[in-house]
Structure 1
Amino acid sequence: MSSRLKYRRRRNDKDDTKPLCEQPQRDSPEYLHRLIAQLYGVQQESLPAFTSSSSVDNELHALVGLLLREFVLGWYNNVAFDENGEFLNETVALIAHLTRDLQQRCLRIDWTRLLLDDLFVILSKHTEALREARKRVGTKFSSQDENELTANYLSLNGHFAIQLDNPERERQYMQVLVKKLTVLMLPNEEAESALSRLFAETFFGDLILRNVVENLTDNFMLWNMIKAISEASSGRPKTARSFFEQVSAGSRQVGHIVAYCTSVFSSKPAPQSLVTQYAVFPFINNMVHFSDRHPLVHLVVTTTAALLQKSKKFNHLCNNVLNNLVYNRILTSGTIASAVRTLRHIMFPTDANFNTTPRYVPQTTEELDEIKLNAKIAMEKVLSRPYIDTESFLCSFEHKAINKSLMWNILDLLLTNIYPELKDM
């Protein structure tokens, strides 16, 4: 442990007891710095860096500090006397090692290919299997099971951890996966400790992975997420602008397009395949039925793309555009910091105690239908024309077992890209 960056806690009873209501505005830099000082007993500058981004570190330090106070220090202080806070020092240093290693691994991934090609291969197989499963219902090709549609889907495209006749399989798969991940994530001296491994397996398995899979695969949770995203997309106010402002905005848009097409991502991996063949494009076509609505336009677009993709310059230009979209719009430090902040708000609504209030679960069919209808209304406000069958799209998330199978396929894709050693283990 001597190679890790450590800090020494300085207890300050005055700061520790000061109520949070006297803090600056919530989530401001001053508020986070003061909250972190209360949680760790030191200023943030004395803590080891979790990532290379200060904005992400602000949010992570706050979330991790709250988690440690709620789930670790509460019981540890009752069984051991640790005046200098060495246990907290070691725990924070270990977490910093994990997050920095995770960041380095993520930097080696071609996220453009992963998010726009590999991910949409999984989504395309999901929609095709679901469509075929519905066609088989009531025919001789259908599975003879009480949950006929779900059984049909799992036989066509199910994750091997999800089995209707063996619910225990998922728990076993999760245990094996977490054990393998723990070996890869922990430094060598910690991986040799049975206590450290047990602590890490419990933290990542029970507290994180199990909650993610269980909570995010409920149909009402997914519908509420779709509603929130749709409302955020359509909630931007439209204001009348003068002709000069419109011309200026148009010029800026042209400048952005030129920058997107000509900027060079020399540090990013070169595309292994033609970007025009990424699975995102046929997936969108199938979702909005573009080829059916506009067959001639679709023929012209696909023919032109087939001719242009033979040019290395054209492929390079498309690669630049997609890289800019992913790395400058989606995977930014601001987006990641916002996601960590949202997670903290859910788990610790007042930055005090963990949220133990049971989540809202619809009790009747009418409540469930209302949530689904609200999601549909929000989606149709974003899509000014019915390019997508919102009803069929929302119905694709109706069954929890099917959602779990999709979730596990996506998690497998993500984890095997971050930790490619899993493929050999």
Structure 2
Amino acid sequence: MSRLQPRLKATATSNVSPQSASALSIPIPTSKEPLSRTATPIARQNSRLPPADPVSDRATLFLIRRTLCSHLSDKGRSTPAPIDELLPPLTSSNEVDLQLYALIAIIIREFVHTWYTKITPDPYFVEEVVKIIAHCTRALEQRLRKVDLESLLFDELPDLLETHVRAYRIANYSSHPPPLEGDPRRIYHSLWPFPALAPVPDNNGPLVQQQLNNEAAYRQLLVHGVLAVLLPTEDLENDCLTTLVGQIFSEMILGGGIGGKASEPWLLWEGITKIGETIQTQLPNSKAAVRLDRSNSESSNQPPLDVTGGNTKGWNIGWSIQRTFWLILQYAFLTFTTIRFLIVTVATSSSLPSRIPATKKLTGSAKTSDHISGPKPHSERTSDATIRPLKRPIIKMKLWSCVSSLFDLAIRMPWLYGTISMLQWGALAGPGELGNADGMLDKILSHAIQTRVLDPSLLPLLLRNARAALFPNNTLAPPRTIPSPAEQLLIRRRCAETILSLMPAKMQDIYFGAVKERRVQEVEEVLNVFSDSYCNKHLLYGVVELIIVRLIPELSEKGVDELLDERLS
């Protein structure tokens, strides 16, 4: 009976009435009993902590330790060893390594452990794979430091997008009525030929399988070329390893991702929608805030009701004078802020770093000495031009012409297009050449890009968001069912509405008109450049090939067999 005494005491009631205790949802214990005995199961359930964020640092470290460090023992240590002591570094940043190791852990758990654990319980295979990946990522980081990211992101990639837009519109806007019109895919492929996507597939015909075989061979060639440069020599001699790694990257990543889902129109539209929503949340005035400010301004602009029935003419004059005063004050403040910004910008532009490398400046000074010592031979001048390419001015990069071509600026508003072209020419060839390479405006724009867009501190956040989107809850998302044609139209419409939400209302009225439905339809017409998966493959494979060539320029000079012979000889 003595064993039952604590249970009898645990059921003792407190001085609070049952009604008040039920309202508090957690019963108040008596002074004689601890809280753990008096807490009911409902109270214990309510007192549980919320589930941890799957992309938090704590959950990420637990995922990495459980997947990649399970065979490493921490015996004899009071605290677990840090990740950077257990695993080799991937890059020079610990924050980037943490996010990359999380992605590697998910890929190995979902794509390697599912079949490798059925063969052998040996855990050291994962360790060898991680070492090979670390060797490749460190080599890529060193190569990435030598890449001109400004030119890649704002000139070369937009050039590919502009080529895709023009080829698609020419192929789909035929001048001949049916049945005299040509096949849009054949016209597109003739305008932008890509050997890996030839022949143009027909509807369920024999050319479909032939094109898929050529595409698979191209992916294998691309991956083996990368491995021939980045892999260590002892791993490159292992045919089993290169075949396994090449198959994973070429079929699972490039084939299933770039050549498969990523080329689907509805998935591209969803990706654009998510990017637009992310940008919208970062803006100082979100959509909800704009609506609230607009409603407040409308309500504040309305005069109060004259319940007394008096003369409102004098009140209207006073109200117009007050509005004029505040309008003049706002414009004066805007003018002062603009002038101050221009003065500060011009004053600090001289201290900004130069965009032209020091070697190029030395070459320019050497040209002045050529007039004294005589001109160099033609072969030597050619080699200097190939080794030290000129920097392209920011305002002359393809980003601006790509945006203009995408939204048909020259057709919709030729006067605006001509004005911008005149300003661009004046900045490049006008007095002082402010917009030319290494000019004042060019250095200011380059500094803004380096500090706002290419900031290395943004990379861990980008990788974290990408992991949350690709692998929700650090697992593979359930297979996505292909939306029906009606659902794909709704996805495209939502994407158009998201793009319009990023533009001010007055700009929408001027550019697209006052009718909302017309605005949405015209933006949907712009988004139709991604409505063909076969044409999208040209663009995506072109982007992948361009990035690989910029990181590994050896592939543009030598073939895969030649690179392998040099490494293995």
Task: Give the residue type in structure 2 aligned to 1:161.
Answer: A
Larger radius of gyration: 2
Calculate the TM-score normalised by the size of structure 2.
0.62
Matches within 5 A, 1:110-259: 110-136=148-174, 138=176, 144=182, 148-162=183-197, 163-164=200-201, 165=207, 166-168=210-212, 169-213=214-258, 214-235=260-281, 236=283, 238=285
The CA distance in 1 between the partners of 2:187 and 2:103, in whole Å, is 41
| Per-residue Cα deviation, 1:220-270 (whole angstroms, up to 9, x for no partner) | 011111222222223346368xx9x99999899776897678421679797
Task: Give the residue type in structure 2 aligned to 1:149.
Answer: P
The CA distance in 2 between the partners of 1:33 and 1:252, in whole Å, is 48
Matches within 5 A, 1:285-364: 285-288=404-407, 289=409, 292-294=414-416, 297-298=419-420, 300-308=422-430, 311=433, 314-316=436-438, 317-351=440-474, 353-355=475-477, 357-363=478-484
Question: Once the 2 structures are TM-superposed, how far is the Cα of residue 152 of structure 1 from its aligned partner?
Answer: 1.4
Partners of 1:117 and 1:280 within 8 A in 2: yes
The CA distance in 2 between the partners of 1:139 and 1:247, in whole Å, is 55
Aligned to 1:277: 396
Partners of 1:216 and 1:222 within 8 A in 2: yes
Bigger shift: 287-296 or 36-45? 287-296
Partners of 2:165 and 2:406 within 8 A in 1: no
Question: Once the 2 structures are TM-superposed, how far is the Cα of residue 56 of structure 1 from its aligned partner?
Answer: 1.0
Partners of 2:355 and 2:391 within 8 A in 1: no
The CA distance in 2 between the partners of 1:233 and 1:346, in whole Å, is 16
Calculate the TM-score normalised by the size of structure 1.
0.81
Question: Once the 2 structures are TM-superposed, how far is the Cα of residue 394 of structure 1 from its aligned partner?
Answer: 0.5
Aligned to 1:418: 551
Question: Once the 2 structures are TM-superposed, how far is the Cα of residue 318 of structure 1 from its aligned partner?
Answer: 4.3
Task: Give the residue type in structure 2 aligned to 1:301.
Answer: L
Q: 1:318 to 1:237 in 2, by over 3 A?
A: closer
Task: Give the residue type in structure 1 aligned to 2:483.
Answer: P
Question: Once the 2 structures are TM-superposed, how far is the Cα of residue 120 of structure 1 from its aligned partner?
Answer: 2.1
Aligned to 2:23: none
Q: 1:157 to 1:259 in 2, by over 3 A?
A: farther
Equivalenced residue count is: 394
Which structure 1 segments of 5+ residues have no match? 1-20
The CA distance in 2 between the partners of 1:99 and 1:257, in whole Å, is 40
SS at match of 1:27: coil
Which structure 2 segments of 5+ residues have no match? 1-48, 71-80, 202-206, 294-329, 361-388, 513-521, 560-569
Partners of 2:427 and 2:433 within 8 A in 1: no
| Per-residue Cα deviation, 1:105-125 (whole angstroms, up to 9, x for no partner) | 111100111111122222222
Equivalent of 1:61 in 76, 79, 101: 101
Bigger shift: 336-345 or 182-191? 336-345
